Structure 1
Amino acid sequence: MAELLLETQGLRLVEVAPPVVPAGTRTAMDREWDRAVLANPALFDGPVAVCAGLTRENPDTLLVSWSRVTYRYFVLRRVPGATALRSLFVSVVQPTGDGRVLVGRMSSSTATPGRWQFPGGSVEPPTGDAPLDEDALRRHAAVELAEETGTDHPAADLTRCLITHGEDGQVGVHYLAPPLSAPRLHERFEALVAAETARGHTPEFDRIALVGSPADLPDLTGPHVSYLEPVVRWANRRVGS
């Protein structure tokens, strides 16, 4: 699946009304969600933001329209004839000093076991009157990086580097973290796994790897997110140069 890589100076997010799901489709959606939870009890129907549209507001600014739903709405892609919702997610490109970047494999307790991706996740809507803006996205990206890899950067140290737009409409906002040494990244991940295991929890990543170019991706056993190869290629040119 092709991914469009967008670089832009400005990013603006605007909330719009959630999609209207007809009663019959909603019943089918609820049925599919119940099946998904039976297969993976770790799933939860918490709030999530979905992408309602992506346009270029002016030559220097992208406008992302988003709506509040819950995670069960993502199973609409399994309902025949239903309009699947488009994900809005963040990820972090964490480089090493030698130009490689960190990727992780999702564990068996997640919704996508065995899938390789950058640290990150679906965007959650703000609570109360807090806005969903670039600062909120950056904070969310920093939290995802810490929770999945044990690497903790202040949100202010993350720099937006790319926006990806897939053929399926999913929109990803990607941030570049300051480089850390490969031993340090492995040390932090191992400490996170040990701490989570001691609490009786399963880490979101069951493995991490450092890749230097798209040529390294075939060595990763399992499926990859569609944006992995183009973002690794971008990083190989920008971070590895």
Structure 2
Amino acid sequence: MSFDLPRNVILAVDAVDVRLDPGPHPFAKDNAAAIAENWQREMAANPALFDGTVVLLSQLAWRDNRLVGRCHAVNYSTFMLWRKRPENSGAEHAYAHAVLVAGDNALVAIRMGPRTVNAGRVYFAAGSFEPVDFHDGMVDVDFNMIREVREETGIDLTDARRGVRWHALSTASGTVIFRRYHVDDPADEVARRISAFVAAETDPEIEGPVIIRHAADLPEGLSPHMKPLIEWHFANS
């Protein structure tokens, strides 16, 4: 199966069947020395980095509106080397976006903080899948979305109205799985709550909220994968 899904097109997704393989990822086994060397350089450049655990795909396919795949737990240092050597690595990255839709139909994204790997980048609050996001070996995409939004913004989406299904966009840099989450408050109030949360944090991960009010409202620092998601939202409101 490896990686078999259309690229650069938004796909409807009715189920996500991605399982956590308990074995090591081949990329991690084959590049142990290079991973350690690269991590020393990364830490020298940004001592705030933490070598936690994330997951890296070894297979992903789209079949009958289902994403089917396999992933492995790896150290963040492994992921950092993979980012520099993705070609012919036998690995790919997937992540999830809760598309936060305010009561006035504006989108509320975030700008990443200066101490993070993606400093200054604008996208929806998100983070890599971690082993905690897998239940009985199967990924729980919405659990990841809700957890990451809560950790980064203080907003709890547990009871928010969700889109009927997920969607996915696969590009050369990875596959984003996304779903609308609707809240009643207007965007200005959602942004105020996020700003208050960030101000109270000792070491916030994000710089603050970014409101996007229409398809052409593309803020500076917007991650490339965000433009088609924004256009999709406003074209399908």
Scaled by the length of structure 1, what TM-score is found?
0.83
Contact kept, 8 Å, 1:150 with 1:191, in 2: the verdict is: no
User: 1:122 aligns to what SS in structure 2?
Assistant: coil
Compared with structure 1, are the counterparts of its residues 97 and 141 closer, same or farther at alpha carbon in structure 2 (3 Å cutoff)?
Answer: same
Matched letter for residue 88 of structure 1: A
> 2 CA distance for matches of 1:142 and 1:23?
32
Matched letter for residue 231 of structure 2: R
Compared with structure 1, are the counterparts of its residues 69 and 23 closer, same or farther at alpha carbon in structure 2 (3 Å cutoff)?
Answer: closer
Which residue matches 1:101?
107
Contact kept, 8 Å, 1:3 with 1:227, in 2: the verdict is: no
> 1 CA distance for matches of 2:124 and 2:135?
27
Matched letter for residue 221 of structure 1: E
Q: How many residues align structurally?
A: 227
Which residue matches 2:37?
31
Compared with structure 1, are the counterparts of its residues 67 and 22 closer, same or farther at alpha carbon in structure 2 (3 Å cutoff)?
Answer: closer
> 1 CA distance for matches of 2:177 and 2:85?
27
Contact kept, 8 Å, 1:138 with 1:156, in 2: the verdict is: no
Which residue matches 1:205?
206
User: 1:221 aligns to what SS in structure 2?
Assistant: coil
> 2 CA distance for matches of 1:205 and 1:77?
21
Which residue matches 1:189?
194
Which residue matches 1:152?
156
Identical-pair percentage: 25
What is the aligned counterpart of 1:175 among 158, 174, 179? 179
Deviation of 1:153 after TM superposition, in Å, equals 1.6
Matched letter for residue 178 of structure 2: H
Gaps of at least 5 residues in structure 1 are none
> 2 CA distance for matches of 1:84 and 1:36?
23
RMSD: 2.6
Deviates more, 1:154-163 or 1:138-147: 154-163
Contact kept, 8 Å, 1:102 with 1:211, in 2: the verdict is: yes
Scaled by the length of structure 2, what TM-score is found?
0.84
> 1 CA distance for matches of 2:86 and 2:158?
43
Deviation of 1:207 after TM superposition, in Å, equals 2.5
Deviation of 1:80 after TM superposition, in Å, equals 9.8
> 2 CA distance for matches of 1:90 and 1:24?
27
> 1 CA distance for matches of 2:153 and 2:71?
28
> 1 CA distance for matches of 2:20 and 2:30?
26
What is the aligned counterpart of 1:13 among 18, 25, 30? 18
Once the two structures are superposed, residues 102-143 of structure 1 have per-residue CA deviations (whole angstroms, 9 ceiling, x without a partner) of 11111111111111111111000138x942435x32112111
